[in-house]
């Protein structure tokens, strides 16, 4: 089968590789769609932290935002999965440790991460092996584009839940990228007044096109009932603490390349709850329901769908003018250039 393989910093190619056979407890999925995110771009550039900690090494087969159809099942898997459209969890815990036993498999010290950690192959390929327990079924109303947006949407949903907001309250989202915009869409669907903070007016044009009138390029007048930092700015966490209402929640889901200092005295004196969110684990089913019901439609976030042959261009940050300013690019491994 064809698979996209990153062989080193700035080097990648589409290779012919052996297709996966399902192990016990696993299925093999025919990939209909896979999303490209900032983590994938860091693997391509060589900046990804796991490459420096030994948790990942080249060659890497990326892709952890995906949707597809179950084509094969391994021993011990219900054959009813065959032919079903699915997406799935990225984080694959060992299933034996205390964290896995408590439902926190996404924090398992020995976890694999699809397309990211410890060599687990990703979805930029025609077929993908996945443990059956990690699958999330997709109803007919969730098409491949929506299906491949369930994983980033699960991250955003967990961030919104962590904000503990009620309808009519005010949320500030720092960072109008994919996760920030998904959080904004989910919060707005719950009746929350959403404000978005970006670096430039150009970075906020797309947010305004989605119907968000409260956009800012400088810190807006607070306080806000919750603040979600979905940016990669090292100064954003401290700003989030300053702008949140005392006694409420700040949520950190963005990651900076540099340390992000925040004054814990401000957290204490404002009695603020700070929450970190890692992964979509626990948010996949809820996100699927939001998409299936039509309460949230994130499809405008996808600028284009391209083939595996064009993946390297996308990872290098190159965009065609006709794609516009929508933040997400999808890959369809079935396409040929």
pLDDT band at 203; cut points 50, 70, 90? confident
Which of 19-33, 85-99, 250-264 bottoms out in mean pLDDT, i.e. has the lowest? 250-264
Q: What's the whole-number mean pLDDT along residues 281-288?
A: 98
Q: In this predicted structure, what is the pLDDT of residue 19?
A: 97
pLDDT band at 26; cut points 50, 70, 90? very high
Taking 90 as the threshold, does the pLDDT of residue 172 lie above it? yes
CB 146 within 8 A of CB 302: no
How many residues can be counted in the chain? 337
pLDDT band at 337; cut points 50, 70, 90? confident
pLDDT band at 326; cut points 50, 70, 90? very high
What percent of the chain has pLDDT above 90?
97
Q: What's the whole-number mean pLDDT along residues 43-69?
A: 97
- Please state whether beta strands 244-252 and 224-229 pair in parallel, antiparallel, or not at all (unpaired): parallel
Residue 6 structure tokens = 């990153």
Q: What's the whole-number mean pLDDT along residues 209-230?
A: 97
Residue 296 structure tokens = 């949230």
φ/ψ bin of 168: left (φ > 0), alpha (ψ from -120 to 50), beta (otherwise): left
Domain range annotation of the chain: 2-149+298-331, 153-276
Architecture of the domain defined by 2-149+298-331? Alpha-Beta Complex (3.90)
Is domain 153-276 annotated with CATH 3.40.50.720? yes
Q: What is the mean pLDDT of the chain?
A: 97
Integer Cα distance of 4 and 122 in angstroms: 9
pLDDT band at 257; cut points 50, 70, 90? confident
Q: What's the whole-number mean pLDDT along residues 194-213?
A: 95
Taking 90 as the threshold, does the pLDDT of residue 109 lie above it? yes
The answer to whether the Cα torsion of 252, 34, 337, 61 is positive or negative is: positive
Q: What is the pLDDT of residues 123-163, one digit of tens each?
A: 999 999 999 999 999 999 999 999 999 999 999 999 999 99
Q: In this predicted structure, what is the pLDDT of residue 199?
A: 95
Integer Cα distance of 185 and 183 in angstroms: 5
Question: Phi, psi (5° rounding) for residue 200?
Answer: -135, 160
Q: In this predicted structure, what is the pLDDT of residue 306?
A: 98
The answer to whether the Cα torsion of 38, 44, 47, 48 is positive or negative is: positive
Taking 80 as the threshold, does the pLDDT of residue 79 lie above it? yes
Domains 2-149+298-331 and 153-276 in one fold: no
């Amino acid at each position: 089968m064809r698979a996209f393989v990153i062989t080193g910093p700035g080097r990648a190619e589409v290779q012919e590789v052996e297709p996966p056979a399902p192990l016990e407890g696993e299925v093999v999925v025919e990939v209909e769609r896979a999303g490209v995110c900032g983590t994938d771009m860091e693997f391509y550039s060589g900046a990804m932290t796991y490459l420096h900690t030994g948790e990942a090494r080249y060659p890497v087969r990326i892709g952890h935002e995906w949707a597809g159809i179950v084509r094969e099942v391994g021993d011990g898997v219900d054959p009813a999965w065959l032919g079903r459209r699915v997406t799935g969890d990225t984080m694959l815990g060992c299933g034996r440790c205390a964290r896995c036993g408590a439902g926190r498999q996404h924090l398992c010290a020995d976890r694999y991460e699809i397309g990211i950690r410890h060599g687990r192959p990703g979805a930029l390929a025609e077929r993908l092996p996945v443990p059956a327990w990690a699958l999330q079924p997709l109803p007919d109303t969730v098409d491949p584009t929506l299906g491949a947006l369930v994983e980033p949407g699960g991250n955003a949903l967990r961030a919104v839940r962590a904000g503990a907001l009620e309808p009519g309250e005010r949320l500030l989202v720092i960072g109008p990228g994919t996760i920030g915009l998904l959080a904004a869409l989910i919060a707005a669907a719950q009746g929350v007044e959403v404000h978005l903070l970006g670096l430039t007016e150009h970075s906020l044009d797309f947010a305004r096109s989605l119907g968000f009138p409260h956009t800012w390029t400088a810190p807006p007048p607070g306080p806000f009932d919750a603040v979600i930092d979905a940016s990669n700015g090292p100064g954003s966490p401290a700003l989030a603490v300053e702008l949140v209402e005392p006694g409420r929640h700040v949520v950190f889901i963005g990651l900076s390349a540099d340390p992000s200092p925040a004054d814990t005295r401000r957290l204490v004196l404002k009695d603020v709850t700070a929450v970190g969110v890692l992964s979509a684990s626990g948010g996949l089913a809820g996100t699927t329901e939001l998409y299936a019901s039509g309460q949230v439609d994130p499809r405008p976030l996808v600028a284009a769908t391209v083939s595996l042959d064009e993946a390297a261009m996308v990872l290098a940050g190159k965009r065609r003018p006709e794609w516009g300013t929508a933040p997400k690019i999808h890959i369809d491994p079935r396409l040929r250039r």
